[in-house]
Amino acid sequence: NAGVMQNPRHLVRRRGQEARLRCSPMKGHSHVYWYRQLPEEGLKFMVYLQKENIIDESGMPKERFSAEFPKEGPSILRIQQVVRGDSAAYFCASSPDSGGYGYTFGSGTRLTVV
């Protein structure tokens, strides 16, 4: 049973480009969460999604950031017109459909904006 799969592991973008980060949850998990981690800092909640629904996006910046979790395929975190301040590690986590506790995290995507 593969864990939470994130790709790419490393992503370099020039300022103004778009970044797309992908996350495939564990088998049997339909809840996906995205977190951002700046160097030497903690995990900041961004968005919580279930299949085809955004449940809580209170941590998402109002502009340039969007997330989706389609019926088929991975969850996507999209950052448009990236700026240097978007450089960070982005982690995806998933949790069980029901009755289970705890998040399983992926290995993260390290985004560098040059």
Partner 1 sequence: GENVEQHPSTLSVQEGDSAVIKCTYSDSASNYFPWYKQELGKGPQLIIDIRSNVGEKKDQRIAVTLNKTAKHFSLHITETQPEDSAVYFCAASYNNNDMRFGAGTRLTVKP
Residues forming the site for partner 1 (CB under 8 A) = 4, 33, 35, 41-45, 48, 55-56, 58, 91, 95, 100-108
Closest approach, Cβ 16 to partner 1, in A, equals 28
Q: What are 43's two structure tokens?
A: 């995990």
Judged by beta carbon, residue 19 or residue 23, the one nearer partner 1 is 23
Closest approach, Cβ 112 to partner 1, in A, equals 14
User: Judging by beta carbons within 10 Å of its beta carbon (0-12, 13-18, 19+), is residue 27 exposed, middle or buried?
Assistant: exposed
Closest approach, Cβ 63 to partner 1, in A, equals 21
Judged by beta carbon, residue 58 or residue 63, the one nearer partner 1 is 58
| 64 contacts 78 by C-beta, under 8 angstroms | no
